[in-house]
Amino acid sequence: MADRDEFRVKLWGVRGTVACPGPATRRFGGNTPCVEVRCGPHRLILDAGTGLRVLGNAMAATPAARYRAHIFLTHTHLDHVTGLPFFKPAYEAGNCFELWAGHLLRSGTSLQRVLCRLMEPPYFPVPLDIMHACIAFHDFEAGATLEPYPGVRVRTAPLVHPGGATGYRIEYAGRAVCYVTDTEHPERGHDEAVLELIAGAQLVIYDCTYTDAEIARYRGWGHSTWQEGVRLCELAGAERLVAFHHDPERDDDALAAIEAELAARRPGSLVAREGMVLVP
């Protein structure tokens, strides 16, 4: 039985764009975004990249268990949803999963429709409704505040990304974890919606795909830098920054160099690694 005040984060996938397994990414990991948040007995999952398959395998290792979770998607680009068809617990009757997205209503579509298209020919051999778990789909407008479980508050904010994306702030037991990935910061000033979302948070998982030296070449791609993450945390009075959504071309040595720079600039902050467990 979980401690009701336990608040814990585990990183199952930390890369962006495309999975990149191999010897050059073994230390930090090559799976795309998936973050598990445990709030006492409750489970929330942020994004459904290839890391979701690994999480699902860990859950399925206890076959008699029954699982319930809310899965909050930042958006539905492939690197953030491609793990869903390979999430074993979704195929087991008796499990229950609720999926949420805050970026689709304005485009006139829905999360269920988008995920059905992901799992249909010629892209995939079996349809979404082959999943035997109880599955529900929720669309909302980014900016809404949600309460998936009693005592678990999820604040949301729109992010700057092609097609739209949503940032999340999970509040539980007097603490806050923020998940802000796939967002592009302005050339001048700072994103006020992000500053408000992360204000005073104990942990901020932030899009650090590029560096300040690189970002000019990638304007319009919808990503940010670890240096901007530091600036935002300093302005918002947030505590630990976790650099996340690593460029697939950045190998372990390059990430280790960023980790050293980040630790010197903001002691206590980290570069995300698969399997890392964090307590806000």
Distance CA 119, CA 278 (A): 33
Task: Please give the biggest Cα pair distance in the chain.
Answer: 53
How far CA 233 is from CA of 15, 33, 58, 191, in Å, comes to 21, 21, 33, 12
Residue 194 φ then ψ, to 5°? -70, -45
H or E segment to which residue 271 belongs:
strand 270-271
Distance CA(215)–CA(130), nearest Å, equals: 42
The angle formed by the CA atoms of residues 168, 173 and 175, to the nearest 5 degrees, is 50
Tell me what pLDDT residue 199 has.
98
Q: How many CA atoms lie within 13 A of 200 on its CB side?
A: 3
Predicted pLDDT of residue 2: 57
**Amino acid present at 258:** I
How far apart CA 204 and CA 198 sit, in angstroms, is 7
Domain ranges in the chain are 7-278
pLDDT at 154: 98
Per-residue confidence (pLDDT) for residue 64, from 0 to 100: 79
CA 160, 49, 274, 162: dihedral to nearest 10 degrees?
-20
pLDDT of residue 257: 98
pLDDT attached to residue 120: 95
Average pLDDT, 10 consecutive residues per value, the chain (280 residues): 81 98 97 98 98 97 91 98 98 97 96 97 95 97 98 98 98 98 97 98 98 97 98 98 98 98 97 98
Specify the CATH number for 7-278; select among 3.60.15.10, 3.40.50.1220, 3.40.50.2000, 2.40.30.30: 3.60.15.10
